[in-house]
Amino acid sequence: MSGKGRAEQLQDALTFALAQAFSKLTAEEFVAKFPRALKSSSSTVRFLSHLHDSVHPLVAANCQAELRVILKEMKLEDKLAELDDYAEMPHKSEVASVEWQEQETSLAPHEMARLRRIQAKLRELAELDRVISEESRAADELEVDLAHAKETMAKLEQAIESSQAFVDDLAASVASLASTNEIALSIMADMEVIPSPPASSRATTSA
């Protein structure tokens, strides 16, 4: 096999390894990382053929629209023809498995060792991406909870301020009432007002 053919075969094997790593992602994560995967793949149709519909739902026939939008956003309209070719390809897991076994047996030992290392690293990266995504979602949820807590605290502070204003008004009213009472007592003392005796007491005196 020529050097060019060997390089293409190795590239296809690496593309398969990349596709396997991507098959562990969620649909949302796949859409976000798809453009970068295209740049790492020598052929869009090769990458998609490894991501057959039994491995990842995003490459099924009903998901071609999402992939087309991504390609247009990347200004890779020339790749759209490859999507059409991919749509006509048989996508069976056993077919992909046979193709992979054929490629695997034709690789040199040192190439296989390198491929295995890359596969392991890709699995690690996929797991790391998954953990980061989970932590990011948890951080977003925490941020929402924190916003709710701040809103609740603001309402509580407002209620406390309203209560304090009511207490201040009540204290002022009590102070005003006490002052009025003191004035009344002072006036009564100045006028030497003596309370009238009870009626029974007046009757006894008359007798």
- How distant, in Å, are the alpha carbons of 172, 186, 187, 190, 200 from that of 177? 9, 14, 15, 20, 35
Kindly state whether residue 81 falls inside one of the protein's structural domains.
yes
Cα separation of 141 and 136, whole Å? 9
Mapping DSSP to helix (H, G, I), strand (E, B) and coil, where does residue 109 land? helix
Taking only the tens of pLDDT, the chain with its 207 residues reads 454 555 555 555 555 555 566 556 655 666 566 666 555 555 555 555 555 444 444 444 545 666 677 667 767 676 666 666 655 655 444 444 444 454 555 666 776 677 677 667 767 766 776 777 777 788 888 888 888 888 888 888 888 887 787 777 777 777 777 777 777 777 767 666 545 555 555 555 554
Cα separation of 101 and 33, whole Å? 27
Helices then strands, each counted (H, E), the chain: 8, 0
Kindly state whether residue 199 falls inside one of the protein's structural domains.
no
Kindly state whether residue 63 falls inside one of the protein's structural domains.
yes
Q: How many domains does the chain have?
A: 1
Cα separation of 36 and 165, whole Å? 61
Kindly state whether residue 37 falls inside one of the protein's structural domains.
yes
Per the document, the length of the chain is: 207
Kindly state whether residue 163 falls inside one of the protein's structural domains.
no
Domain extent for 48 = 3-107
